Amino acid sequence: MAEENISKLELRKSFLEFYEKTRKTATEHPEFKLGQNNYRLLSKNGKEASRVFNFMTKIYGLITDLERTHTFIRRFPIKDYYEENDIDQLDFIKYHYEVFIHKVHTLLEVKKLWLNDFYEIGLKEKDCNWNNLKTYNKIQNSPAKTIIDSYYESFKHIIEFRHLNTHRAFFKDSKKDDLKSDLFIYNGFKKYGVEVGKENRKMRPKFIVDYQIKEYRKEKLEYIKNGIEVAKTYSEYFITIIQTELFDKLMKKTA
């Protein structure tokens, strides 16, 4: 495992050095203009390295977004302000969990777009779906195909949930819904200065509701944490495959 990590780090370093070298060449071009898009001045290798770099930063940016959902859910800051604006702890968790499921799906979509670009397949973005992409020999022969298939299988339930959430405004969470009804009573009554009835306090006291929300948050955090680790693992393998194939291609050109 240690050797794999060293190899991955060395590969990333080699790529970044190559990327910087190609950019330096562009800055020395007589038509280079500071503060403008100088992509056209890059060599063919430089343009390819630039596209790889851009997709790599998108992948890492999405991983960061996933990690932020975990950070947000861990705390419910400025509680009074949120509750004054009808946002309770469960609303806060739900919102950031929805961000999580959407970013999980976006990671998959960006990887498909990257394969389309890297292998110069030429599909339009709207046609860049897996049924179209996987028929091409360049993808069939790349281990990147296995990463895409495995990523989808690992997150299939989340991706299907995301589709329902996006297209049908569906969000089903029985535990949250159960807690929400009691939290609504306590927060709603407090907002309007109404005392919570004795029967409600008996059925589920406020301290029990608070404890169960705390446990619910822990469960969600653990679930998201595991999901992030899986997404990061697949993403690192994917980037490694692309960068390895890039260097292989460059070596063949110079051979």
Q: What is the pLDDT of residues 17-65, one digit of tens each?
A: 999 988 888 777 766 676 767 677 778 888 899 999 999 999 999 999 9
Looking at residue 188, its pLDDT comes to 65
pLDDT at 14 over 90: yes
Return phi, psi of residue 31, to 5°. Answer: -95, 5
Average pLDDT estimate for 142-147: 96
The residue that leads in pLDDT, 204 or 238, is: 238
Residue 126 pLDDT grade (very low, low, confident, very high; cuts 50, 70, 90): very high
CA distance 235 to 114: 12
Domain ranges of the chain: 2-254
* 3 pLDDT tier (thresholds 50, 70, 90): very low
Q: Confidence band (pLDDT; 50, 70, 90) for 253?
A: confident
- For the stretch 53-111, pLDDT in tens is 999 999 999 999 999 999 999 999 998 899 889 899 999 999 999 999 999 999 999 99
Mean pLDDT (whole number) for 134-156:
96
Contacts of residue 152, defined as CB under 8 A and 6 or more positions apart, other chains included, come to: 108, 130, 159
Q: DSSP letter string over the chain? A: -HHHHHHHHHHHHHHHHHHHHHHHHHHTSTT--TTS--GGGS-HHHHHHHHHHHHHHHHHHHHHHHHHHHHHHH---SHHHHHHTT--HHHHHHHHHHHHHHHHHHHHHHHHHHHHHHTT----GGG--HHHHTTSHHHHTSTHHHHHHHHHHHHHHHHHHHHHHHHH-----HHHHHHHHHHHHHHHHHHTTPPPPHHHHHHS-HHHHHHHHHHHHHHHHHHHHHHHHHHHHHHHHHHHHHHHHHHHHHHHHH-
How large a percentage of the chain has pLDDT more than 70? 87
* The total number of residues written for the chain in this structure: 255
State yes or no: pLDDT of 2 exceeds 50.
Answer: no
Which range is least confidently modeled, 79-83, 120-124, 157-161?
79-83
Mean pLDDT of the chain: 89
Predicted confidence at residue 233, as pLDDT, reads: 97
178, 209 contact by CB (below 8 A): no
Question: Are 111 and 238 a contacting pair, CB within 8 Å?
Answer: yes
Q: Residue 182: its pLDDT value, please? A: 83
What's the pLDDT tens digit per position in 180-191?
A: 888 877 776 666
Q: What is the pTM of this model?
A: 0.88
Name the nearest CA neighbour of 108 among 72, 165, 154: 154
Q: Is the pLDDT of residue 201 over 70?
A: no
